Amino acid sequence: MIKEVVIKTDKLTKRFGDFIATNEITFEVYAGEIFGFLGANGAGKTTAMKMLCGLSRPSSGNATIAGFDIYKQTEQIKRNIGYMSQKFSLYEDLTVLENIQFFGGIYGLSDKQLKKKSNELIDILGLQKESKKLVASLPLGWKQKLAFSVAVLHEPKIVFLDEPTGGVDPIIRRQFWDLIYQAADKGITIFVTTHYMDEAEYCNRISIMVDGVIEALDSPINLKQQFTTSTIDEVFYKLARRAKRTENLK
C-alpha cells in the first residue's frame, strides 16, 4: 500500500547567527500517523515545529506540509493545520462555548457549522454544565482536552501538538491520548512533542533529536531492538547523553 506523505522535509535547517538550531533534518510523516518528535531541552524541536507550521522561515533546505511549500505557501499551510501547545491554547477569560466559537471562526467555519460542531464537541467532552463557565475555572486536564478538540474542530490534515500534556497526571494524560487516537482514526495526522516517555510509546513512529540533528527515527519497537533496550526511556538516554548543548544538562 502506498502511504500518503503529508510532511516531507529535506535538509531543513535554521540558523540563529552562527548557531545551528536545526541542522539538515530530513524525514517524512504519513497521513493518519501519530508521529512523536522527541529531544532533550534545547534540541531544536520547537524551532523545527515553527518552520513546519509556516511561522518561521528556514535558513536552508525544503519542506512541504499537506503538499504546500513552506517558503511560498504559508497561508495554505495555516489553513490545513491545527496547533496546540502547553503555553498557548485557550482564552482563560472566555467561556468554554465562546472559545469554541472564537477559534472555530478563526479556522473558517460557517455559523451553521460552528453551531453544530460546538454542540457535538460539548456533548463528546461531557462539558454541558461547564459550557457557560470561564475556561479559567476548568481543571488543567479539561483545558487541555478542550484545547485539543478546538485545534481539530476544522478537521485539519495535520495537528501539531507541542508538549500538550505537560503538568497533568498519567490518568488524564491517557484520556488525552484517547482523543488523539480518535483524531488519527479520522485520518488526521498527529505531530507531537513530549517529554513523557510513556507517551512516546503510544506513537506509531518517533524521531529523537540531539543538538539539532535527528539521530534516530523508527517505530518504538524497532528503536528498542536497534538500541537493545526494553524501554524508549533507555533509548532516549543513550542518545541524549551525546548532547553537547547546555540545556540538555538540565
Q: What is the CA 79 to chain-centroid distance, rounded?
A: 16
In the set 33, 45, 90, 143, which binds ligand ATP (CB under 6 A)? Answer: 45
C-beta closer to ligand ATP: residue 22 or 118 = 22
Closer CB to ligand ATP, 99 or 194, in the complex: 194
Q: Could you say which residues in the range 4-23 bind ligand ATP, by CB under 6 A? A: 16, 19, 21
**C-alpha angle 144-145-151 in degrees, rounded to nearest 5:** 85
Residue 220 one-letter amino acid: P
Q: Which of 46, 99, 149, 207 binds ligand ATP (CB under 6 A)?
A: 46
Instruction: Measure the CA–CA gap between 145 and 132, rounded to whole angstroms.
Output: 17
DSSP label of 168: -
Give the 3-state DSSP-derived string for 211-239, with helices as H, strands as E and coil as C.
Answer: CCEEEEEECHHHHHHHCCCCCHHHHHHHH
By CB under 6 A, residue 47 contacts ligand ATP: yes
Asked whether the beta carbons of 175 and 5 are under 8 A apart, the reply is no
**238 touches ligand ATP by CB under 6 A:** no
Nearer to ligand ATP, 113 or 248 (CB): 248
Instruction: Kindly state the smallest distance separating residue 175's Cβ from ligand ATP, in Å.
Output: 24
Name the one range near ligand ATP by CB under 6 A: 42-50, 99-107, 113-121, 171-179. 42-50
Among 38, 58, 47, 50, CA closest to 214: 38
Shortest gap between Cβ of 195 and ligand ATP (angstroms)? 7
Q: Which cell numbers hold the place of 208?
A: 529523537
Work out how close the CB of 159 gets to ligand ATP at its nearest, in angstroms, rounded to a whole number.
Answer: 18
Residues in contact with ligand ATP by CB under 6 A are 16, 19, 21, 39, 41-47, 245, 247
